[in-house]
Amino acid sequence: MSITLWIKNPLAIFTANEQDARGGLVIQNGKIIELVAQGQQPKTAIDQVYLANQDVIIPGLINSHHHFYQTLTRAWKPVVNAPLFPWLVNLYPVWAKLTPEQLHLATQVALAELVMSGCTLAADHHYLFPSQLTDAIDIQVKAAEELGMRVMLTRGSMSLGQAQGGLPPQHTVQDMQTILEDSERLVQQYHQRGADAMVNIALAPCSPFSVTPEIMRASADLAEKLDVRLHTHLAETLDEEAFCLKMFGMRTVDYLESVGWLNSRTWLAHGIHFNAEEIQRLGKNGVGICHCPHSNMRLASGICPTIDLMASGAKVGLGVDGSASGDASNLILEAKQALYLQRLKYGAEQITPELALGWATQGSAQLLGREQHLGQLAPDFQADLAFYRLDELRFSGSHDPISALLLCGADQAQHVMVNGKWVVKDREVLGLDLDKLRAEHHAAAKRLLAA
């Protein structure tokens, strides 16, 4: 039987669209069917009421770039102070030893961290397919289903090994036919197209320094044929820019266009080192950019030009990046970091808490092609919600609840709802033994580094 739930009179609510929902939301069949204005009653007959007068409610946060497997290599001493290229060169051989069990645990930990922070949809960029881990995306689908989270799982790839002038060790790369056949299999087997889709698949050759132009072009063709999205790293560091100039004789955006990726199907991770002309081209062609502030600061990569990109027409979202460069999978803290880092570039007046939360909700939904039904609180949108409490000492004396989430440093949601179902209640992930997971994951991390 369908239950109609009124989430009544929240302490504060951020809809991401300026609609009045201060009287709450009405939920039915996994969707928002009504926004209730302040002081009003629902027009719909109500079966259950949840009194939300202690809760700050926002749309479920959406993480548009991650590497789940990297939760196993956080704060590894040999790379703590390394920039991107030496960081990768040292970690590639470690990651190449990943087992199916380790990936499952790593995915569970990343998703559990994310959902506890208020995230309801997470995109992962998995590009490691050593011989013992050819079914990596299948493993991630299972882990996400167990937790009840939405995912955009990208079938990444590496095809340009060190022997061809790339960064990855030769034993971590795959041939083009294997990559394309598995990509098509995964889309056909798992990609869901409805408004309530829990699993999406995208195609994601890793980066200019780890794949050939041929696999980039073939992936673009396949994505168009299958009608799925495209994802890659681009313009993260000056080293990458120099690599593209040396290897391909062109800058990163020229390279992107040369392989058929300069279009609205594409979203890019990082997007830091663009010149003014390139920013205009990205916006004109509807390309999306995922800002990853924690990772960009840790690896000293630079600052994404978010406002310039948005002014050009590009879409901007937010991601925690891999948990070996961001080192945590906490999207509400990522929004706080985006607020502060972008203020250094653009000033306090332009970069508001609402803008940063918009990147983490509506913006990321646009990057993932889900903006018609996720990332806002509005009728006919999916009931993906994050609830926060301001009852800890850090919030004492705060006055604006929405600003307090970021300025005072909220780091965990009280409740989280995905598709109209409670996934987190009273800060506990339902159906998950967190102590057991933590112990098994930590042991797996030790084994990986000892192997």
> Are residue 30 and residue 173 in the same domain, yes or no?
no
| Phi–psi pair at 233, nearest 5 degrees | -85, 140
For the stretch 137-189, pLDDT in tens is 999 999 999 999 999 999 999 999 999 999 999 989 999 999 999 999 999 99
| 345 lies in the same domain as 249 | yes
How many Cα atoms are found within 13 Å in the side-chain-facing hemisphere of 401? 18
Q: Which residues have CB under 8 Å from 407's CB, separation 6+?
A: 336, 353, 398
CA distance 31 to 195: 10
Say yes or no: 291 and 167 in one domain.
Answer: yes
Are 387 and 337 within one domain?
no
Whichever domain contains 141, its CATH number is 3.20.20.140
3-state secondary structure of 351: coil
Quote the CA–CA distance of 8 and 24 in Å, as a whole number.
5
- Domain check: are 209 and 330 in the same one? yes
Does residue 19 lie within any of the structural domains? yes
Confidence band, pLDDT 50/70/90 cuts, at residue 2: confident
Read off the pLDDT of each residue in 26-45 and give the average, rounded to a whole number: 97
Range of the domain at 421: 5-59+380-429
Q: What is the rounded average pLDDT of the residues 410-416?
A: 98
- Count CA within 13 A, CB hemisphere, residue 191: 19
- Relative to beta strand 315-318, strand 288-291 is parallel
Residue 191 lies in a domain: yes
65 shares a domain with 205: yes
β-strand 31-36 against 55-59: which pairing, if any? unpaired
Q: Within this chain, do residues 133 and 32 fall inside the same structural domain, yes or no?
A: no
- Beta-sheet strand order (sheet of 288-291): 61-63, 119-126, 150-157, 199-205, 230-234, 266-270, 288-291, 315-318
Same domain, 42 and 185: no
Residue pair 20/37 in contact by the 8 Å Cβ criterion: yes
Among 367, 395, 419, residue at a domain's last position? 367
User: Do 252 and 300 belong to one domain?
Assistant: yes
The model carries a pTM of 0.98
Res. 235 pLDDT band, cuts 50 70 90: very high
Q: Would you say residue 374 lies in a domain?
A: no
Q: Is residue 99 part of a domain?
A: yes
The number of helices, as runs of H, and strands, as runs of E, in the chain is: 15, 18
How far is the CA of 357 from the CAs of 228, 370, 419, in angstroms?
26, 17, 20
Clarify whether residues 23 and 70 are in a common domain: no
Percent of the chain with pLDDT over 70: 100
Q: Could you tell me the CA-to-CA distances from 43 to 6, 25, 149, 164, 210 in Å, in that order?
A: 11, 11, 30, 65, 56
**Residue 23 neighbours by CB under 8 Å, 6+ apart:** 8, 9, 35, 36, 37, 38, 39, 40, 41
CATH number for the domain that contains residue 407: 2.30.40.10
Compute the Cα dihedral for 298, 156, 233, 143 and give only its sign: negative
Q: What is the pLDDT of residue 146?
A: 97
In this structure, the answer to whether residues 315 and 391 fall within a common structural domain is no
Instruction: Give the number of other CB atoms < 10 A from CB of residue 301.
Output: 22
Mean residue pLDDT of the chain comes to 97
Q: What is the mean pLDDT of residues 231-241?
A: 97
Query: Is there a domain that residue 81 lies in?
Result: yes
Distance from the Cα of residue 54 to its chain's centroid: 28
Provide the β-strand partners of residue 50: 7
List the beta bridge partners of residue 352: none
Provide the number of structural domains found in the chain.
Answer: 2
d(CA 346, CA 184): 42
How far is Cα 131 from Cα 109, in angstroms, rounded to an integer? 24
Same domain, 174 and 200: yes
Residue 129 backbone dihedrals phi, psi, to 5 degrees: -130, 60
Q: Is residue 440 part of a domain?
A: no
Q: What is the average per-residue pLDDT within 202-222?
A: 97
What beta strand segments (E) does 103-251 contain? Answer: 119-126, 150-157, 199-205, 230-234
Residue type, 134: T
CA contacts within 13 A on the Cβ side of 236:
26
Q: Is residue 442 part of a domain?
A: no
Rounded-to-integer distance, Cα 82 and Cα 302, Å: 14
pLDDT for 1:
62
pLDDT on residue 451: 86
First to last CA, the chain: 52
With 70 as the cut, is the pLDDT of residue 210 above it?
yes
Using DSSP, state whether 286 is helix, strand or coil: coil
* pLDDT tens-digit map of 317-333: 999 999 989 999 999 99
Q: How far apart are CA 111 and CA 109, in angstroms?
A: 6
Q: 39-66: per-residue pLDDT in tens?
A: 999 999 999 999 999 999 999 999 999 9
pLDDT in tens, 346-375: 999 999 999 999 999 999 999 999 999 999
Phi-psi region of 136 (alpha: psi -120 to 50; beta: other; left: phi over 0): alpha
